[in-house]
Amino acid sequence: MHSVAVSGGASKALARAWLWLGLMALIGSGLLAILLVLSRTPGIQDVFPLKDMFRAALVVHVDLSVAVWFMAFAAVIWSALGRDGVAWMGWSGFALAATGTAVMTVSPFLPGAEPVLNNYIPVLQQNTFYASLWLCGAGFGLAVLRALITTWPRPFLGAPLQLGAFLGAVAGFLALAAFVWSWLIVPRDAEIEPKLYFEVLFWGGGHTLQFQHAILMVVAWLWIAAHLGQPPVASPRALSAMFWIAALPLLVVPAIYFTIPAGELPHMELFAKLMIWGHPYMAPLILVGFLSLWAIRRSEAHAAKSAFIASFSLFAVGGVLAYMIQGANVVIPAHYHGSTVGVTLAFMGLAYVLLPQLGFGEVKGGMARWQPYVYGGGQLIHVLGLAWSGGYGVQRKVAGAEQALTTLPQKIGMGMMGLGGLIAVIGGIMFVLVCLKAMARWQRG
């Protein structure tokens, strides 16, 4: 695994295309994030009445920064590690996903965009937005199918990173199948509250998708460590076994769907338990990640190293906060911001590794080395502010006066949230600028 080779030919071209899509999604999400932070920051929220824009912006911000960015970069990993073949499937998937992303980005500005702030994939009740979801789903579905074909491990234990990519694709396939299954099974009754309907619709698949993100995050960590000259801290066979162990809870997903219909309370409770009891199977891989991070502590400064440090730190904070959730307050977004930002930073670090290998320019300079610390540091302040405020009862998914910030601790916590969010936006802009600078130096081949 020391020095990971990137696939050539059509797979390399596909990896480049998916990276562009992920970057465009982050640009759109970052612009919307500015509105979100301002609409919840004490003082500013009173000067600029952004509350009405908050919910529509939140829907598209979440979908671009989590659903589209994560799936697009997953496709980068699958393309870079996969064998050549069925390129038509990859390009068809990319075209559909890119079209869906463009449609999704403009949908809030079209008539009838009524936001529904359900978990995992919030929606706008609007035919244009629904079309964007189907386009993205079909596109990413083709990317997942191609990944299952091209990263299929040979032999059974296979090369650890390619096996990790394959198991991530298995998780992605089960998640997309769960979405479609729920859509077919759960009745769309006019009497059912939209938030409840979409909560149920995306519940099982949303929980399953977290396993894809977590497995691919570890793939990114180990890839970064290998790029920085760190030999694997475990044998390839042991690492492969750890990836299989981490994926074992995925066996429960079809079992839940076969035994309890989607939409019933036990169905949702079992997926909540799957998160609690399933993710600890990642512990051996997380330990390997920590040991790899410790092993590169004396290596020279590099943007990918900074991202690895920030990613592991944020993911650990998010994991700890998961066990502190009590009620529907802002500790919940504090937890998932920590965890998802941990994944994002891992992908940012791997992007820095892959850019020159995909034919773009080298990532150099102080901005690149500091970007993960600015982004990660801002997100850490943001997360701690949310966690602090949640301890004082501030509710989630509200903005402006609805937050009812009556006490000084509440205002301090949400002020931290606002400050951290703005710093993180700066860090996100830095990432985009670093990538665009490197991508401007594209060399064919």
User: Is residue 372 a contact partner of residue 310, using CB atoms and an 8 Å limit?
Assistant: yes
387 lies in some domain = yes
Query: What is the token pair recorded at 421?
Result: 């969010």
Measured distance CA(94)–CA(18) in Å, rounded = 7
User: Is residue 363 a contact partner of residue 355, using CB atoms and an 8 Å limit?
Assistant: yes
Measured distance CA(432)–CA(348) in Å, rounded = 10
357 lies in some domain = yes
- Could you give phi then psi for residue 142, rounded to 5 degrees? -65, -35
306 lies in some domain = yes
238 lies in some domain = no
Location of structure tokens 């006066």:
401
Specify burial of residue 193 (Cβ count, 10 A radius: 0-12, 13-18, 19+). exposed
* pLDDT computed for residue 430 by the predictor: 95
* pLDDT computed for residue 395 by the predictor: 47
Task: Give the domain CATH number at 399.
Answer: 1.20.120
* pLDDT computed for residue 214 by the predictor: 95
Measured distance CA(207)–CA(385) in Å, rounded = 25
Residue 333 DSSP code: H
User: For each of the chain's 445 residues, which pLDDT tens digit applies?
Assistant: 456 878 878 899 999 999 999 999 988 887 777 766 666 666 655 555 555 567 777 899 889 988 999 999 999 999 999 998 899 999 999 999 999 999 998 888 788 888 998 888 999 999 999 999 999 999 999 999 999 999 998 766 668 999 999 999 999 999 999 999 999 999 887 778 888 999 999 999 999 999 999 999 999 999 999 999 888 889 999 999 999 999 999 999 999 999 999 889 999 999 989 988 998 999 999 999 999 999 998 888 999 999 999 999 999 988 777 666 655 555 666 777 788 899 999 999 999 999 999 999 999 899 999 999 999 999 998 888 877 665 544 544 444 444 444 566 666 766 787 788 889 889 999 999 999 999 998 765 4
Q: What is the DSSP string of 23-43?
A: HHHHHHHHHHHHHHHHHHSTT
* pLDDT computed for residue 321 by the predictor: 75
| 125: helix, strand or coil | strand
Measured distance CA(347)–CA(331) in Å, rounded = 24
* pLDDT computed for residue 82 by the predictor: 92
163 lies in some domain = no
* pLDDT computed for residue 390 by the predictor: 55
| 329: helix, strand or coil | strand
* pLDDT computed for residue 401 by the predictor: 41
- Could you give phi then psi for residue 239, rounded to 5 degrees? -65, -40
User: Is residue 350 a contact partner of residue 69, using CB atoms and an 8 Å limit?
Assistant: no
Q: What is the DSSP string of 218-258?
A: HHHHHHHHHHTT---SS-HHHHHHHHHHHHGGGGHHHHHHH
Query: What is the token pair recorded at 234?
Result: 């475990």
* pLDDT computed for residue 174 by the predictor: 98
Torsion of CA 374, 380, 386, 391, to 10 degrees: -150
Location of structure tokens 């309370």:
265
313 lies in some domain = yes
> Into how many domains does the chain fold?
1
Cross-strand bridge partners of residue 125 = 114
* pLDDT computed for residue 331 by the predictor: 62
3 lies in some domain = no
Tally Cβ neighbours within 10 Å of residue 40. Answer: 27
Range of the domain at 319: 302-445
* pLDDT computed for residue 392 by the predictor: 47
160 lies in some domain = no
| 211: helix, strand or coil | helix
* pLDDT computed for residue 156 by the predictor: 60
